[in-house]
Amino acid sequence: MESLKGRDLLSMADLSGAELSGIVKMAIELKTGKIDPRTRKNLGLLFTKASTRTRVSFTAAMYQLGGQVIDLNPNSTQIGRGEPLQDTARVLDRYLDILAIRTFNQQDLELFAVNAKMPIINALTDLEHPCQVLADLQTIYEYFGTCQGLKLAYCGDGNNMAHSLLIGGALVGMDVAVAAPAGFAPATQIVAQAEKIAQGTKAKITITEDPAAAVRGANIVYTDVWASMGQEAEAIDRIPLFMPYQVNRQLMSLADAKSIVLHCLPAHREEEITEEVLEGDRSKVWDQAENRLHAQKALIVALLGL
């Protein structure tokens, strides 16, 4: 993975299909103990949004690699008092070896990348969530032995998860169908980006308002909360609009008989997914959550060139 050394991961589109597959395979090797790279470098975490899986998995990953983690809470740093992001970026670049940022605006992430030489990782923005999709693809690969030629159906809000799944799926040659209510479809520029990538990998990109059409024959059925962080005030109003997109027994009956269910968590049970499906035999949600650790460890190894 020498080609990734020193680079940023701001979007799934920053990776080629071969690089993405390489990270997934490295994650599996790290998980099974086939490789055990070590480092004494420092990872910074700069999160302006709440986090459980991303924060803990990045922290555990860096500690397991032998490195150190510095949690840069914006409320206890000068960022919270209005220091310009470009100034913070240039200073942190003198202290850290790699920085993961979770924030609202993709532009803030890009500003850090322009002003820092160290690798910058998108740990979630309103536009994308690439680190989650690394773990998703690892989980799919572990279960099916491949990602190419499979069909993933995503039901719900056309949010950052839908965006990264569209691009990530296209990169590895996996069909992606997104079913979302009118007015909640993925961003047109992301869809166009995924479609362009899919032309080269023979993947199919589908955007529909019909959840049954999206799920029919799918190998993977994926969902996320209907109101993302920052949209809590809209949550109750969204429920009647999104209820037809709930992943339940009836919807799962349309998927392939050997299909699996994924959810990036946290889950609102009996909203976007039923308790029965989340805890059912097809659910690989807990394996998926564990794989955040291994996928992010692989990403750190690749970007630091360990």
- Please identify every residue annotated as catalytic: 102, 129, 132, 224, 264, 292
For residue 294, the one-letter residue type is H
Number of H helices, E strands in the chain: 12, 9
Structure tokens at 98: 């790699």
CB count within 10 Å of CB 32 equals 9
For residue 182, the one-letter residue type is A
Distance, in Å, from the CA atom of 186 to the CA atom of 184, rounded to the nearest integer, reads 7
Please provide the DSSP assignment of 143-169 as one string: HHS--TT-EEEEES--SHHHHHHHHHH
CA 235 from centre of chain: 22
**222 three-class SS:** strand
CB count within 10 Å of CB 126 equals 17
User: Are the beta carbons of 54 and 131 closer than 8 angstroms?
Assistant: yes
CB count within 10 Å of CB 241 equals 16
User: Are the beta carbons of 248 and 279 closer than 8 angstroms?
Assistant: no
* CA atoms within 13 Å, Cβ hemisphere of 239: 9
